[in-house]
Homo-oligomer: A and B are copies of this chain.
Amino acid sequence: MVPRGRPRDTQVDERVLRIAAALLLERGYTGLSIDEVAEQAGVAKTTLYRRWPAKDHLAVAVVARLQADDEITDTGDIRADLVNYLEKIAAGLNRMRAAGHREGPSAGTVGELVAAAARHEDIGRLTRKQYAERNTLALALIEAARVRGELRADLDAEPLFDQLAGALYYRVMITGAPVDRAYVERLVSSALERNLTCP
């Protein structure tokens, strides 16, 4: 398939995403205005809509780039690996938390993205797929630890990871409590140690 017509200006993507990121982080989701992005980027609105079909898509793209690659590593020490991985997730969330001037404790932008995923089926599919991949990796990590005997044999991995990741999101979005290294370690401890007393 031969490309016809004038090729897209690749610098546009870069410039737009940079400026959109600045706006999003500085003023929050509402403050991210298509008109303003276009103007600041010296780009026509048409050009934006040629690349991202709606503001929500642009916002998702911006955040996706901010989160980047949360690598997962398996050192054989499940506790350390989980702490390590969860900390990366926490870092991404904390970055969102700063968005929107007031820098209140709650990460409104994360909420907006959830809403965006609900508004647009394609965004929903995309983000769920990405989260599914992340989940798969984490579950594999846990499974490996189970197989090699670090975790108990009849472990239910799915809710375990839900608990870990969920606690982070819960604090960031709902209670507004801090999510730092100390908390992550408490969290992993709480999740891995037995809680019920042995009868």
Contacts and interface: CB of A to CB of B under 8 A. Distances in A.
Copy tally for this chain in the complex stands at: 4
B163 A190 contact: yes
A55 to B, nearest CB: 12
A168 B162 CA distance: 8
A175 B107 contact: no
Interface stretch (A9-17, A18-26, A63-71, A97-105): A97-105
Interface in A88-143: 100, 102, 104-119, 121, 124, 127-128, 131-132, 135
Contact of A195 (B117, B121, B151): B151
A106 B118 contact: yes
A61 interface: no
Interface residues on A, range: 35 or more
Contacts of A193: 152, 194-196
A150 interface: yes
Contacts of A191: 159, 163, 191, 195
Given A118-B111, A192-B196, A194-B152, A128 B176 contact: yes
Contacts of A28: 118-119
A167 interface: yes
A42 interface: no
Contact of A128 (B106, B163, B170, B187): B106
A160 B187 CA distance: 8
Given A107-B114, A155-B190, A156-B190, 14 more contacts: A100-B118, A108-B115, A114-B114, A150-B197, A152-B194, A155-B195, A158-B186, A159-B191, A162-B167, A163-B166, A173-B173, A192-B195, A192-B196, A193-B195
